Amino acid sequence: MSLPIYLIGARGCGKTTVGQALALTLGYDFCDTDHYLQQSRQKTVAEIVAIEGWSGFRAYETESLKAVTAVSKVIATGGGMVLAEENRLYMREHGRVIYLNADALVLAARLEAYPLADQRPTLTGRPVAEEMVEVLAIRDALYQQAAHHIIDAMQTPDAVVNQIVSSLSLARA
């Protein structure tokens, strides 16, 4: 059965870039929990956080995870999806979970080079590199805990896709 593939990792690790390429390679659909959430609420992440706080946003995030889950789908998740144990267990139970792992400084450099690639407000308002070090210090263990496979996301996107496909022993479309 073509179980859903969940991509987890911090902002900038390549969930969208790699996820779209992986979906093409496998002939799967692609979706992004943040996009789904924003469309279903008709608000941006920043607006939801401003109105309902991060806890409100996190509740919609769990809802979105469940709503988008389907077979033959690559699902790019929000960077904070793993914070809730419920989400970690749900992903492990319903599909295969891939952690796109990259150093904080690599992530920061990507986000600084393409500031519009991710429209989320920064969590702390501090410099991106500093924030990334801090965020990963907290989340890396959760990403590792949730993941079935940990992939080095500092390779080219094509190499990352190839490694995911072989680690899951899946056939190309």
Residues that bind ligand ADP (CB under 6 A): 9, 11-18, 76, 110, 114, 117-118, 153, 156-157, 160
The residue nearest ligand ADP at its CB is 14
**Interface region with Mg ion, contact rule CB under 5 A, candidates 16-24, 98-106, 129-137, 163-171:** 16-24
Kindly state whether residue 16 participates in binding Mg ion, applying the rule CB under 5 A: yes
Distance CA 151, CA 65 (A): 21
Distance CA 161, CA 126 (A): 32
What are the b/e assignments for 71-110, b being 16+ CB within 10 Å?
A: eebbbbbbbbbbbbeebbebbeebbbbbbbbbebeebbbb
Residue (15 or 88) nearer to Mg ion, CB: 15
Residue (43 or 120) nearer to ligand ADP, CB: 120
The distance of closest approach from Cβ of residue 144 to ligand ADP in the complex, given in angstroms and rounded to an integer, is: 17
4 binds, among ligand ADP, Mg ion, none (CB under 5 to 8 A by kind): none
CB 135 within 8 A of CB 123: yes
Kindly state whether residue 20 participates in binding Mg ion, applying the rule CB under 5 A: no
Kindly state whether residue 162 participates in binding Mg ion, applying the rule CB under 5 A: no
Helix or strand run (H / E) with residue 140: helix 128-146
